[in-house]
Structure 1
Amino acid sequence: MFLKVFLLLLLLNLGASAEDSFIYNGFSSANLILDGIASITSNGLLEMTNTTLNMKGHAFRPKPFRFKSPTGKTLSFSTTFVFAIRSDISDLSGQGIAFVVSRTTDFSADTAPSQFLGLFTPKNNGNSSNHIFAIELDTLQNPEFRDINDNHVGIDINSLISNQSLPAGYYEDGTGSFQNLTLISGKPMQVWVDFDGDKMQINVTLSPMGMPKPIKPLLSDIVDLSSLILDNMYVGFSAADGPFRTHHYVLGWSFKMNGAPDPLDYKKLPELPAIKTNSKSKTLALWLPISLSLFLLLAVAATLLIVRRRAKYAEIHEDWEQEYGPHRFKYKVLYQATNGFKERELLGSGGFGRVYKGVLPDSNIELAVKKISHDSRQGMREFVAEIVSIGQLRHRNLVQLLGYCRRKGELILVYDFMPNGSLDKFLYDQTKPTLNWAQRFRIIKGVASGLLYLHEDWEQVVVHRDIKASNVLLDRELNGRLGDFGLARLYDRGTDPQTTHVVGTMGYLAPELTMNGKATTVTDVFAFGTFMLEVVCGRRPIMPHCVGEDLILVDWVYENFRRGLLIETMDPRLGDEYSVHEVELVLKLGLLCAHPVPASRPSMRQVMQILDGDVEMPELVPSSLSFNTLSLYQNVGFDNYLMSLTSSAGTITSGPTGR
């Protein structure tokens, strides 16, 4: 009887592990689980993304493989596949593609930004409970994941912060010299991934399609996958498109447990779509013979005209641009996108330039194009500051800088287009609909999250120095994004920021800033506190026609708090649709952030914890506070500032706004 049971269990085990390999020379008849925007084309290409912006695609084998022996030992496996990445915009790409070994095929709950490749979210990135092993082929540099560049291969263990990564390429057999490969070239390339379960060694090899597998792998790492790998795991691919329209293709795929995968038959792989090209032919017809002397004269004259024309419209390139470098747009492209910078495309203007709506002609991507005034004395310095700072930042609540252009006398920045414009229009423009409390609360939390990223979560400390409602832009879903980094300053963690002259917008300036000129994260917190009060009260930080404590918003809210009338400061347009607890919480937190004593202000991490309900709001005792912001503003010409507001019908003059 025991022998029969043993034989039965043995047969069942053999049946369960009978399928230990597969090969797809094209995917026309492939049985795969597809989700997101992944699909199989008519000629058999596995198309993971189809240029739908900020979308993801997944493709997995429907049956899991047994990755562990009956004794619990992690088994070896190998795979090879051919892929290609093509972008509709030359030299620009969405996110990358990854080969994945996962405990699940269900990533439908993933709502993270596209840089997470459809595999993780900000909350679970790095969690050991993910049980995800991936080889990423990444075409964008995301500082939050410590990416080495925008063209790299990485080994990912439960996180997009790679265990090891190197620039894409291969080592030539014989010479051992390294040859670069450009992942977004649109050319098919082959990847081999080999895991040795005995040595716990991962080898990743890359080469152009059709070339024999290089002897030396691109990446080789010792990683103990025993805790990550479960008994049964799925294999597949995940890809994501980002801010630019990108196709991610897989042409063929072979996989095997405990052995080398069957080689792909390159002749059977499907063809990639033809690259669209614009061919221009020029025909020159000569009606009369021209003497040699006249021909030379015309040639010289034409050369002089071309040289003068190029000099007139020449773009400026300097060494610092190579170090920082978001994408550089050609002026001609931006000129066409904005219809020649016509007035009808104007979105807004400020003290530092004008902002136009643009649409890239080839891709229909909407842009906000900002031309910084050439006669601005600090225009170049602020332009460089914005390139250096926001050009490298990646956060869902920050306006993304897509690129820039420089011409003689013109400085141009290109941003994501925010269709709903700036927040101050919704607070003060009577033609705009009133934001309800839920929308305002979400905007406050979003801006707080972006500011926390600037202060604590990026590689350097970024002090924004101009936080205000007109610098908060709203996307299609009315999510708040902090923009305009023209006054931003960066410094390394642990160093002391240098004292500078006072910049910013009156009403948001911390009192100590008017005396020592030192902008810090604490002065940003003061401005954010004023911003919170402004959003709740629907009232500008300075009301030029008021007097006494009614003149300054912070002082006015404090005075009402002292009298027990805090809830009375709320914007009356909110009606009865609000949470008393949330309104009082934000008002008190705004007063705490705008505390006259800098050391008493919370950090942005504490602010987020309070807004999320993870930490109790500290008790504020009105009698222990003393707000008199007005008297401290006298140091920076406040009376003259009030006169300028009164003469302009009470509108607050702002800096560069209106993305």
Structure 2
Amino acid sequence: MFSTLLMSFLLMRYAASKGDGEDFIYNGFHGANMSLDGAAEVTSEGLLLLNNSIQQTKSLAFYPIPLHFKPSQGKTQSFSVNFVFAIMLRYPNVRSTGIIFVISHSKEFPGSEVGEYMGIFNPKNVGNSSNHIAAIELDTYINPEFRDIDDNHVGIDINGLDSITSAPAAYFSNINGGFKNLSLVSGEPMHVWVEYNGLQNHLDVTLWPISLPKPDRPLLSLMVDLSPILLDDMYIGFSSSTKTAPSSTYILGWSFKMNGQAEVLDASRLPKLPRIGPKNKSELVTIGLPIIVIFLTLMAISAFGLIVRRKIKFTDILEDWERQYGPHRFSYKDLFMATEGFKHKQLLGVGGFGRVYRGVLPASKIEVAVKRVSHESRQGVREFISEIVSLGRLRHRNLVRLLGYCRRKKELLLVYDFMPYGSLDKFLFDHPKTILNWSRRFGIVKGMASGLLYLHEGWEQVVLHRDIKASNVLLDSEMNGRLGDFGLARLYDHGTDPQTTHVVGTLGYLAPELTRSGKATTSTDVFAFGAFMLEVACGRSSIDSRSSADEVMILVEWVSEYWSRGTILAAADPKLGLDYEVEEMELVLKLGLLCSHPLSAARPCMRQVMQFLDRDVPLPELSSDDLGAAILSGGHYKGYVDLRLSYPSSLEQGFATTSSVQESILSGGR
């Protein structure tokens, strides 16, 4: 009898976990040898539960035996990890901090904090190279201090929580091609596969639903040598931490192998997830079934005609060449339902390119902004949509994300992220209901500079926005600035000249050389950004005609006059009073003048602008030796002050343009 019980116990252990060396597999966690800390526990169903109803706690679950990641030569070996997880919301629309898979030199983290620090780090040690931690984060909450891209993403972290690379949660479809979005908090089980090639220093992370085979392409792919990060003996496990418990996080299965492919988890052997909320019970099945059958039969006849009419109403034009754009295209029916039929109460605003409506997508319940653009001509539609799709791949925390488009008859509909606080100009000009303090304004200026640097240098092509102004800067739910309205944007390859020859944009932001050449460049974007900085600092529009019917105030000239008199701080927004940092205000005003210099060669590039704003290098002193009007032939503005500069030698190499004009300015000439 005893031998029979012993054999049953050993078989149970083997079914849950195989291996105590450099590989193992858990198809459920009944009898598993795990090191648990905090709120982590193994449920009666065999699930590894990382979050529960306990408040302000961390949950740590580690494989108890250290693994040897380095042989004698000190090079990190190849390894692979496969696990299945599910995050189930307890309360609708309330997010937790998600989960991270951790490779660490220890399975204990004294001094760590809960919440955004995930029970692993604290404000003092996050990001330290001495941590020797590599992690894969499945993040369901936006933490601005860690530069999260959204509240539903996957990231690769080294020694901290500021991801080296990240992407919205999605998987590659082997059938249709392209990436399909996933919701990490859907409550559905999902696979995660982490594969590291120690010979090629290559790390892949793949995410996909448990019901599908493994995708051919990973979600994240990074060239990184883990040898300096990982020690010989390292622990692997999971961590989750929360200040409340709005969700339940489960690990259903887990496998690992050193120098080989981890075993595939058998979905049929994994434990079942619990049901959240009571099971619905209905007496209609036994009482009202005959009545329902009769009613449905009668309704089916009338409904058939309605369905046919609605199908005709919402039929989209879909040509063969558009099918390649895949998930970037929305159906007209979904956008019609999202905006309640484009009702007036959903209208957010009216611009030169069409009307913008607030909407809620019926399937995902995500809030969006839908712009209806009238497009009478079919000529160039294919090229225009191709460019829309290219811009839709832009990803930066200070850009409004273009989610996709819809084409129907003679109009185009563009779908963007919804920005709840609207455009920045409502908080700056005239008599705003809410006055932005200087700290937020300075943060918005730095955010816009970062986004514009990404457009000019950080993407696979150069993106010229061509319409930078306060009304095109939108504020998200945390009052962070995001540059939007790419209706005039143009793309060209790095190292080539832009082919644009049409003067487009908004008066007050157009660089003088545009009126002569008609060619937009990164320098013309810098000019508009300079005018934008002055708007933020002064609380005035770039061109103001309120003073009289015949007199127009040009903001760049107006600030230049204060600067020439040595009283530039007098141009600061009077609505702020004296509640601002003097050095920051002076920096923004002077840098705004420098960026809006009438000579393009004198303007800095956006990389230099970021260096000035971060105060990594000092702003060049502006000189007024030859005050006067820089009358530009054919330009829009008169009376520009000739600002002569003396740049530090360390910056000269980084300038976007170098010419005899610039050399003349640097040497003190005109």
**TM, length-normalised to structure 2:** 0.66
C-alpha separation in 1, matches of 2:323 and 2:74: 49
Could you tell me which amino acid in structure 1 is paired with residue 612 of structure 2? Answer: I
- In structure 2, what is the equivalent of residue 394 of structure 1? 395
- In structure 2, what is the equivalent of residue 367 of structure 1? 368
Quote the offset at 1:315 in angstroms: 1.2
C-alpha separation in 2, matches of 1:431 and 1:573: 10
Could you tell me which amino acid in structure 1 is paired with residue 531 of structure 2? Answer: T
Relative to structure 1, the CA distance from residue 426 to residue 197 in structure 2 (aligned partners, 3 Å threshold; closer, same or farther) is: closer
The DSSP-based 3-state class of the residue aligned with 1:617 is coil
The DSSP-based 3-state class of the residue aligned with 1:234 is strand
Note the residue ranges of structure 2 that are not aligned, 5 or more in a row: 1-19, 53-57, 90-96, 140-153, 278-288, 639-670
Q: Which moved more, 1:427-436 or 1:61-70?
A: 61-70
Quote the offset at 1:501 in angstroms: 1.2
C-alpha separation in 2, matches of 1:237 and 1:469: 44
Aligned pairs (5 A) from 1:553-568: 553-568=555-570
The DSSP-based 3-state class of the residue aligned with 1:462 is strand
The DSSP-based 3-state class of the residue aligned with 1:623 is coil
C-alpha separation in 2, matches of 1:541 and 1:383: 30
Q: Which moved more, 1:496-505 or 1:538-547?
A: 538-547
Q: Deviations over 1:357-413 (max 9, x none)?
A: 112345442221211235599995896376234301000000112232222223112
Relative to structure 1, the CA distance from residue 565 to residue 487 in structure 2 (aligned partners, 3 Å threshold; closer, same or farther) is: same
C-alpha separation in 1, matches of 2:155 and 2:431: 52
Quote the offset at 1:356 in angstroms: 1.3
Could you tell me which amino acid in structure 2 is paired with residue 577 of structure 1? Answer: D
Relative to structure 1, the CA distance from residue 187 to residue 631 in structure 2 (aligned partners, 3 Å threshold; closer, same or farther) is: same
Q: Deviations over 1:103-159 (max 9, x none)?
A: 4677979979xxxxx99x9xx99x987755568999xxxxxxxxxxxxxx9999998
Relative to structure 1, the CA distance from residue 204 to residue 431 in structure 2 (aligned partners, 3 Å threshold; closer, same or farther) is: closer
- In structure 2, what is the equivalent of residue 622 of structure 1? 624
Asked whether the equivalents of residues 558 and 627 of structure 1 are also in contact (C-alpha less than 8 Å), the reply is: no
The DSSP-based 3-state class of the residue aligned with 2:453 is helix
Q: Compare relative contact order (CA 8 Å, sep 6+) and give the higher one, 1 or 2.
A: 1
C-alpha separation in 2, matches of 1:221 and 1:396: 20
C-alpha separation in 2, matches of 1:378 and 1:562: 51
Aligned pairs (5 A) from 1:476-555: 476-546=477-547, 551-555=553-557
Could you tell me which amino acid in structure 2 is paired with residue 425 of structure 1? Answer: K
Asked whether the equivalents of residues 461 and 492 of structure 2 are also in contact (C-alpha less than 8 Å), the reply is: yes
Asked whether the equivalents of residues 78 and 199 of structure 2 are also in contact (C-alpha less than 8 Å), the reply is: no
Relative to structure 1, the CA distance from residue 87 to residue 526 in structure 2 (aligned partners, 3 Å threshold; closer, same or farther) is: farther
Could you tell me which amino acid in structure 1 is paired with residue 318 of structure 2? Answer: H
Aligned pairs (5 A) from 1:34-45: 43-45=45-47
Asked whether the equivalents of residues 70 and 77 of structure 2 are also in contact (C-alpha less than 8 Å), the reply is: no
C-alpha separation in 2, matches of 1:470 and 1:104: 51
Relative to structure 1, the CA distance from residue 582 to residue 311 in structure 2 (aligned partners, 3 Å threshold; closer, same or farther) is: same
C-alpha separation in 2, matches of 1:355 and 1:264: 47
Q: Which moved more, 1:369-378 or 1:349-358?
A: 369-378
Relative to structure 1, the CA distance from residue 203 to residue 594 in structure 2 (aligned partners, 3 Å threshold; closer, same or farther) is: closer
- In structure 2, what is the equivalent of residue 576 of structure 1? 578
The DSSP-based 3-state class of the residue aligned with 2:237 is strand
C-alpha separation in 1, matches of 2:248 and 2:332: 26
Asked whether the equivalents of residues 372 and 413 of structure 2 are also in contact (C-alpha less than 8 Å), the reply is: yes
Q: Deviations over 1:330-368 (max 9, x none)?
A: 222222222222111111111111111112345442221
Q: Deviations over 1:219-243 (max 9, x none)?
A: 9999975444213323135899xxx
Quote the offset at 1:534 in angstroms: 0.7
Relative to structure 1, the CA distance from residue 577 to residue 98 in structure 2 (aligned partners, 3 Å threshold; closer, same or farther) is: closer
- In structure 2, what is the equivalent of residue 351 of structure 1? 352
Aligned pairs (5 A) from 1:290-301: none
Q: Which moved more, 1:581-590 or 1:406-415?
A: 406-415
Aligned length: 557
C-alpha separation in 2, matches of 1:347 and 1:77: 53
Asked whether the equivalents of residues 82 and 209 of structure 1 are also in contact (C-alpha less than 8 Å), the reply is: no
- In structure 1, what is the equivalent of residue 666 of structure 2? none
Relative to structure 1, the CA distance from residue 368 to residue 39 in structure 2 (aligned partners, 3 Å threshold; closer, same or farther) is: farther
C-alpha separation in 1, matches of 2:412 and 2:222: 46
RMSD: 5.8
The DSSP-based 3-state class of the residue aligned with 2:616 is coil
Asked whether the equivalents of residues 193 and 202 of structure 1 are also in contact (C-alpha less than 8 Å), the reply is: yes
Relative to structure 1, the CA distance from residue 512 to residue 100 in structure 2 (aligned partners, 3 Å threshold; closer, same or farther) is: same
Quote the offset at 1:500 in angstroms: 1.9
Could you tell me which amino acid in structure 1 is paired with residue 598 of structure 2? Answer: P
Quote the offset at 1:285 in angstroms: 8.3
Could you tell me which amino acid in structure 1 is paired with residue 497 of structure 2? Answer: D
Quote the offset at 1:623 in angstroms: 3.4
Quote the offset at 1:23 in angstroms: 5.2
C-alpha separation in 1, matches of 2:62 and 2:198: 22
Relative to structure 1, the CA distance from residue 471 to residue 251 in structure 2 (aligned partners, 3 Å threshold; closer, same or farther) is: same
Q: Deviations over 1:77-101 (max 9, x none)?
A: 866544267999xxxxxx9998553
Quote the offset at 1:499 in angstroms: 3.5
Could you tell me which amino acid in structure 2 is paired with residue 515 of structure 1? Answer: R
C-alpha separation in 1, matches of 2:479 and 2:385: 29
- In structure 1, what is the equivalent of residue 3 of structure 2? none
Asked whether the equivalents of residues 102 and 235 of structure 1 are also in contact (C-alpha less than 8 Å), the reply is: yes
Asked whether the equivalents of residues 499 and 516 of structure 1 are also in contact (C-alpha less than 8 Å), the reply is: no
The DSSP-based 3-state class of the residue aligned with 2:336 is helix
Aligned pairs (5 A) from 1:416-495: 416-495=417-496
C-alpha separation in 1, matches of 2:533 and 2:222: 49
C-alpha separation in 2, matches of 1:239 and 1:517: 55
Could you tell me which amino acid in structure 1 is paired with residue 433 of structure 2? Answer: K
Relative to structure 1, the CA distance from residue 507 to residue 129 in structure 2 (aligned partners, 3 Å threshold; closer, same or farther) is: farther
C-alpha separation in 2, matches of 1:313 and 1:387: 22
Relative to structure 1, the CA distance from residue 109 to residue 618 in structure 2 (aligned partners, 3 Å threshold; closer, same or farther) is: farther
- In structure 2, what is the equivalent of residue 411 of structure 1? 412
- In structure 1, what is the equivalent of residue 385 of structure 2? 384
C-alpha separation in 1, matches of 2:437 and 2:578: 10
Quote the offset at 1:507 in angstroms: 0.2
Relative to structure 1, the CA distance from residue 457 to residue 78 in structure 2 (aligned partners, 3 Å threshold; closer, same or farther) is: closer
Asked whether the equivalents of residues 195 and 202 of structure 1 are also in contact (C-alpha less than 8 Å), the reply is: yes
- In structure 2, what is the equivalent of residue 251 of structure 1? 252
- Does residue 602 of the first structure (1) align with residue 601 of the second (2)? no
C-alpha separation in 2, matches of 1:517 and 1:339: 42
Could you tell me which amino acid in structure 2 is paired with residue 564 of structure 1? Answer: G
Asked whether the equivalents of residues 513 and 635 of structure 2 are also in contact (C-alpha less than 8 Å), the reply is: no
Asked whether the equivalents of residues 360 and 368 of structure 2 are also in contact (C-alpha less than 8 Å), the reply is: yes
**TM, length-normalised to structure 1:** 0.67
Could you tell me which amino acid in structure 2 is paired with residue 355 of structure 1? Answer: V
The DSSP-based 3-state class of the residue aligned with 2:436 is coil
The DSSP-based 3-state class of the residue aligned with 2:625 is helix
Quote the offset at 1:523 in angstroms: 0.1
C-alpha separation in 2, matches of 1:238 and 1:635: 59
Aligned pairs (5 A) from 1:87-106: 100-103=102-105
Asked whether the equivalents of residues 533 and 588 of structure 2 are also in contact (C-alpha less than 8 Å), the reply is: yes
Could you tell me which amino acid in structure 1 is paired with residue 564 of structure 2? Answer: R
Asked whether the equivalents of residues 462 and 489 of structure 1 are also in contact (C-alpha less than 8 Å), the reply is: yes
Quote the offset at 1:205 in angstroms: 11
Asked whether the equivalents of residues 455 and 521 of structure 1 are also in contact (C-alpha less than 8 Å), the reply is: yes
Q: Which moved more, 1:565-574 or 1:359-368?
A: 359-368
C-alpha separation in 2, matches of 1:528 and 1:359: 32
Asked whether the equivalents of residues 326 and 392 of structure 1 are also in contact (C-alpha less than 8 Å), the reply is: no
Asked whether the equivalents of residues 80 and 196 of structure 2 are also in contact (C-alpha less than 8 Å), the reply is: no
Q: Deviations over 1:182-209 (max 9, x none)?
A: 8969987877878899999999999998
Quote the offset at 1:627 in angstroms: 5.4
Aligned pairs (5 A) from 1:274-313: 310-313=311-314
Relative to structure 1, the CA distance from residue 611 to residue 549 in structure 2 (aligned partners, 3 Å threshold; closer, same or farther) is: farther
Relative to structure 1, the CA distance from residue 229 to residue 321 in structure 2 (aligned partners, 3 Å threshold; closer, same or farther) is: same
Relative to structure 1, the CA distance from residue 589 to residue 200 in structure 2 (aligned partners, 3 Å threshold; closer, same or farther) is: closer
C-alpha separation in 2, matches of 1:455 and 1:313: 39
- Does residue 336 of the first structure (1) align with residue 337 of the second (2)? yes
- In structure 2, what is the equivalent of residue 141 of structure 1? none
Asked whether the equivalents of residues 389 and 404 of structure 2 are also in contact (C-alpha less than 8 Å), the reply is: no
- Does residue 269 of the first structure (1) align with residue 263 of the second (2)? no
- Does residue 591 of the first structure (1) align with residue 588 of the second (2)? no
C-alpha separation in 1, matches of 2:422 and 2:296: 55
Could you tell me which amino acid in structure 2 is paired with residue 534 of structure 1? Answer: E
